[in-house]
Amino acid sequence: MYISELNLHGFKSFAKKEKIKFGEGVTVIVGPNGCGKTNIVDAIRWVLGEQKYSVLRSGKMGDVIFNGADGLKPLSVCEAYLTVHNNRGKLPIEYNDIEIGRRVYRDGESEYYINKTPCRLKDIHDLFVDTGMGSDAYSVIELKMIEQILSETADDRKRMFEEAAGINKYKQQRHSALRKFDAVQRDLDRVNDIVQEVEQKVHNLNLQLKRFKRHEKLSSNLFECELALAYIKVHDCESELAPLRKSVSESKILKDEKKSDTSLLEKELEEIKKTYLAQQEELKEKQFSVEDLEKNRELSQSNILIWNEQLKSSDMNVVRLSNELDSSKQKRSIIKDQIAEYKSDSKALEPQIKKQRSAYEKKHSSFEEIEREYSQTQERMKLIQAQRWEAQEKIIEDRSVLDKSISLIEEKTTVSKHLDSKIIHLDTEKSQYAEEQIEIDKKLNKKSESVTKISAELESLRNELDKNEALSSSLEIEKNAQRSELNSLLSKLTFFKELIEQKEGYPDGAKTILDNHKQYDGLIGAVGDLFQIDDKFESAFQSAIGSFAQCLISKDKKSAIKILNAARSQKLGDFSILPLKEFVSVKVDLPSVPKIDGVLGPAIDFCSLPKSAKGLDEGLIGKLLIVEDINKIDVSRLIKEWDIVDLNGAFFGKSSLIKFRNKPKKTSVIGRKKKVLKIEKDIKLLEKSISTNDKEFKSLSKETSILMEKVKSQEELLVQENKLLAELQSDQIKNHYKQSQNLTAISEVKNEKNIVSKDLATLKERVDDIKPTLTNSERLINEYKIELDKISQIFSSVQLKRDTHQQRAQEYKIDLLNMENRQNSLAMQIESSKKSFSEHEKRDAEIQKETTELLHLKKSLSVKIVEQESSLTKISGDIAKEKSVLDLKQKAATATFESMQNIQEKINSEQQMKETLLEQQKLNELRIVELDQTINNIKERMMEKYNSMIPSEMKVDSDSEELEDEIEKIKRGIENIGPLNMAAQEEFEDEQNRLQNLLDQRVDILKSEENLKETIEKIDVVAREKFESTFEKINENFSKLFGMFFEGGTASLSLSGSDDPLEAQIVIHAQPPGKKNQNLRMLSAGEKSLTAIALLFAIYQYKPSPYCVLDEVDAPLDDVNIQKFKKVLNQFAQETQFIVVTHNKLTMEAADYLYGVTMEKKGVSKLVSVKFKGEA
């Protein structure tokens, strides 16, 4: 079994779809640092279900998705598919090729597939458990893990040993069993809590039954007291109602008399109100007029103030503008003088500028000629230099090709020799495989016949076992049904015995007499106990006999009187008694039985009595006829001679008495003893049947156990034979595959030998062609060097002359620019001064215009102020006149208001008197209603609470206070009893059954707990044995491989920290030859790496993993140790597929397949493949 193919898309740096094909043997992956080699290792781990971000070198699962690069956008999903070739059948699946797939999205959600079918992560883990191919197995070793494997507390090392021992599945089973054990413990605690709770509940229900009777007695006393109290309260309320009703009628008459006096005063008041309202309207109009005049006066005063302020502001503005005009004249004079000065300076600069420009142009012309000479010399020198470098590169390229060709010739020669020896070896293997095939075919045929025979025997045993199990199952079901029926009958028996013992259904006196039967001479028994009937006729006899069933029977009247007197003296309670002798002395003429459909016969034919009660049946039911259904026969024909009763209990008597029973009473006193006898008989029969079934069930169980042992034995034998058959088939497939591989390998090696021979001839021709070309190139380089030295001297002298002329030209140019800048500055100052002068002239004109406008404004404001003051004087006079008129009208309105108030006071006085009467009437009416409501409430309360009316006449010996005290005392007694449960008996039985079920469950849980403990112990024993065996063999292998790697030295493994090997730590002891180090930290990096590799191969030697990934583990090793590493690698490659990531050329030599990882674009990995056993 090996990894045959890996498909990547969007995983880390593999942005595009990439396919990597692996074969058996050694596959080497090479490439520069950072190109994505380890991403292939991460992809293998990831697709097998790795969940730790740190192992995948990520911060979260979404980081494994390609995150973009130059010219490529990030992807939203990545996926990888790993194909495993299951040629050795190690995986428990029927396919030869299994494809494991995984897809992840940006949010971290993963999807898993097996052969394109969606599955769970657990399915993948279960598929590879204990195969050495899981994501956490020992199949992937990185350089950083070397230190971890050799560390003093290496969990990874322990996990590798457990994987090799194959105990991971036992660990999972143990973990699952422990989880179940915890769940069982929780269930047991929960059941114990519930049992405790139910036991407490059963106890509480028992107490509630006792409280109920006491509550019933107190409730009866409470009713009598509350009825008496209600009668007293109703009587008191009715006594108070009569005078109140009389007072209400008198108040109504007086209220009508007061109404007429009040109406006259109200008419007078209405007239005065109208006069007062008219006066108020006139007052409002005058007030509005005065308010308007006052507003006009305020407006005039405000205008005068505003205009005076505006006049003052205008005077100030005129003075300010005059001062500004004088300042402007002075500034214009200064600006004129500045303009004249600037023009004089500018005119003086013009001849100096012309002279400087002429000198600069001469110098610049001379510099340009020298610059052209300098450029030509420089170009010539660059050309020769380029020709020299071109010749130099040609020599380097030719020498590289020559060296490479010579190296390849040597390499190809070695390869050719190796291929010759390989062809000889493959031919030898071919003949060996053919002989092995013949031997395997013989063994396979023999083993197939054995498996077929065992399978037939096993099928026969299984059929017999199924029959026995079916019989056992049916017996078990029948037994459970019988036990359930037995429990039901036992419950019924107990119930009826209790009824008989407690004399349930009889009066108290009858119970006492029956309990002490021997004390009363002449007592025969009770009617209900004497009559024995079938269940079918129970309802009929209950209905017909009725209360006679509770009667006692004595021998004669004398005995009856004695019993009566004794009971009266002892105050035993109620009972009835029939003297048998006198009762049966009255002879009854039995009519003939009618022959009608539905008539079953006379009742005396369906009952039995003891000899001591002979004749009782004729006296009680002599003329009783039993029918099936009274509704289906004509009763009128039979009613004259017979009393008729049907099986449902419907009764028609000759005396016109009609009875009907919906269903018989559960506590019927008739025929109890017969029922008890019948139930006891049924119980004995049922117990006998259960015993017979138990014996038969035990016999079947014993036979089944023997059959199961035989089946188990045959199954184990079949498993062993199948295992041997599978091994033979696997060997046959392996041999076929090896022969196929051998033929392919021979063909490939021969083809490779031809290719190598052709390559050698081509390389030798190339070497002969390159040598003359190298000589010519060296001669040309020397000629270019001489010519370049000459031109360099000429270039230096021309460059010095050019720099001198360039500096002088620059100095002249700077002086010219300074003069021109001075002239431009003067021109700008002249222009600025002219502009400022123009602005001052414009502002002077604006000032003169503003001054004229302000003078006109002052004149108009003075006129407005004089006019407004005249108007203000007139308005003040009008206001004074209107106010005097307003005062007169106000006095008249006040007089009218006072007269209106006097009349209103009289009306109020009358109204107050009327309201007093009305208030008193209302109070009386409210009291009447209140008393009526009180009476109704008392009656309703008694009806609602006790369904009882209050009598019109009743004798009460106590007053209301005594009754209330008694009621309160009874209520406290009821409250002390607490809440009652009316269904306590039923609940008690339910809870008792529930308690028994819980106790049964607890027993089952305890058994389950013991089973789990035994399972965990068995798992620990098996896992411990496997681990110890594996540890010893790996320790032995490690010691040998260490000596081979180091050519001496000692190495061993030991367990420490715990007596239990499953919990102990694995300690590594390693001492290379010539060293006495105390611990592994003292080893060098190379020694550590070699020690870890020795341990890894020791594990593989015990349990070869299908594949192994080694990520740069050879980095610390020197060339000598690399050769040892290669040797061991080739040895183990026969059983294990190796995928090696390396930078070491010596390790690459061991490759059967070579992949190169490159980055043509930054951040995007690409694969290049070489297959040494075939085409690339």
- Do the beta carbons of residue 124 and residue 100 sit within 8 Å? yes
Band of pLDDT at residue 29, cut at 50, 70 and 90 = very high
- Do the beta carbons of residue 440 and residue 725 sit within 8 Å? no
Q: Quick check: is 381 in a domain?
A: no
Q: What total of structural domains would you count in the chain?
A: 2
Domain boundary among 641, 668, 695: 668
Answer with the residue of higher pLDDT: 1150 or 892: 1150
Q: Which of 298, 318, 304 is nearest to 861 (CA)?
A: 304
Q: Quick check: is 83 in a domain?
A: yes
CATH code, 530: 1.20.1060.20
Q: Quick check: is 28 in a domain?
A: yes
Q: What is the DSSP string of 413-471?
A: HHHHHHHHHHHHHHHHHHHHHHHHHHHHHHHHHHHHHHHHHHHHHHHHHHHHHHHHHHH
Kindly tell me if the per-residue pLDDT of 1099 is higher than 60: yes
Residue-wise pLDDT for 321-362, tens only, equals 777 777 777 777 777 777 777 777 777 777 777 777 777 777
Domain boundary among 668, 696, 725: 668
pLDDT recorded at residue 78: 92
Answer with the residue of higher pLDDT: 113 or 942: 113
> Which residue is it, tokens 């070497």?
767
Question: What distance in Å separates the CA atoms of residue 340 and residue 349, rounded to the nearest whole number?
Answer: 15
Question: What distance in Å separates the CA atoms of residue 335 and residue 837, rounded to the nearest whole number?
Answer: 7
Kindly tell me if the per-residue pLDDT of 136 is higher than 60: no
Residue-wise pLDDT for 480-497, tens only, equals 777 767 777 776 777 677
Residue-wise pLDDT for 559-574, tens only, equals 888 888 888 887 777 7
Question: What distance in Å separates the CA atoms of residue 613 and residue 848, rounded to the nearest whole number?
Answer: 159
pLDDT recorded at residue 484: 67
Domain boundary among 615, 650, 668: 668
Q: What is the mean pLDDT of residues 16-23?
A: 87
Backbone phi, psi, residue 305, to 5°? -60, -45
Question: What distance in Å separates the CA atoms of residue 282 and residue 208, rounded to the nearest whole number?
Answer: 91
The mean of the pLDDT values for the chain is 78
Q: Quick check: is 646 in a domain?
A: yes
**Angstrom distances, CA of residue 1013 to CA of 186, 599, 1004, 1007, 1058:** 15, 71, 14, 10, 22
Q: Count other C-beta atoms under 10 Å from residue 685's C-beta.
A: 9
Classify 166 as helix, strand or coil.
Answer: coil
Q: Which of 43-52, 432-441, 752-761, 831-840 has the lowest mean pLDDT?
A: 831-840
pLDDT recorded at residue 787: 77
Give the residue numbers spanning the domain of 517: 505-668
pLDDT recorded at residue 1078: 61
Residue-wise pLDDT for 271-299, tens only, equals 777 777 877 787 778 777 777 877 887 78
pLDDT recorded at residue 254: 65
pLDDT recorded at residue 81: 93
Kindly tell me if the per-residue pLDDT of 531 is higher than 60: yes
CATH code, 17: 3.40.50.300
Kindly tell me if the per-residue pLDDT of 125 is higher than 60: yes
- Do the beta carbons of residue 823 and residue 353 sit within 8 Å? yes
Dump strand ranges (E) for 58-130. 77-85, 97-105, 110-114, 117-119
Phi-psi region of 1084 (alpha: psi -120 to 50; beta: other; left: phi over 0): beta
Band of pLDDT at residue 664, cut at 50, 70 and 90 = very low
Q: What is the mean pLDDT of residues 99-119?
A: 88
Kindly tell me if the per-residue pLDDT of 952 is higher than 50: yes
Band of pLDDT at residue 1049, cut at 50, 70 and 90 = confident
Q: What is the mean pLDDT of residues 540-564?
A: 82
pLDDT recorded at residue 170: 66
Hey, what are 749's tokens?
């090696």
Kindly tell me if the per-residue pLDDT of 1143 is higher than 80: yes
Q: Output the pTM of the full model.
A: 0.35
Kindly tell me if the per-residue pLDDT of 656 is higher than 80: no
Residues 1150-1170 as b/e (b if ≥16 CB within 10 A, e otherwise) read: bbbbbbbbebeeebbbbbeee
Which residue(s) pair with 627 in the sheet? 599, 646
Residue-wise pLDDT for 992-1021, tens only, equals 787 788 788 778 878 777 877 777 777 777
Length of the chain: 1176
Question: What distance in Å separates the CA atoms of residue 234 and residue 938, rounded to the nearest whole number?
Answer: 8
Answer with the residue of higher pLDDT: 558 or 674: 558
> Which residue is it, tokens 């429990």?
487
Q: Quick check: is 1071 in a domain?
A: no
pLDDT recorded at residue 1174: 43
Band of pLDDT at residue 1176, cut at 50, 70 and 90 = very low
- Which strands form 1153-1161's sheet, in the order they lie side by side? 140-142, 1107-1111, 1137-1141, 26-30, 1153-1161, 1164-1171
Residue-wise pLDDT for 148-204, tens only, equals 666 655 566 666 666 666 666 666 667 777 777 777 778 788 878 888 888 887 777
DSSP single-letter state for residue 521: T
Please give the share of the chain, as a percent, with pLDDT higher than 90.
Answer: 2
Kindly tell me if the per-residue pLDDT of 697 is higher than 50: yes
Answer with the residue of higher pLDDT: 1152 or 813: 1152
Q: What is the mean pLDDT of residues 831-842?
A: 77
Kindly tell me if the per-residue pLDDT of 802 is higher than 70: yes
Residues 6+ apart with CB under 8 A from 902: none
Residue-wise pLDDT for 873-907, tens only, equals 777 777 777 777 777 777 777 777 777 777 777 77
Q: Quick check: is 951 in a domain?
A: no
Q: Which of 593, 594, 585, 583 is nearest to 551 (CA)?
A: 583
Q: What is the mean pLDDT of residues 806-810?
A: 74
Q: Quick check: is 743 in a domain?
A: no
pLDDT recorded at residue 504: 67
Q: Quick check: is 341 in a domain?
A: no
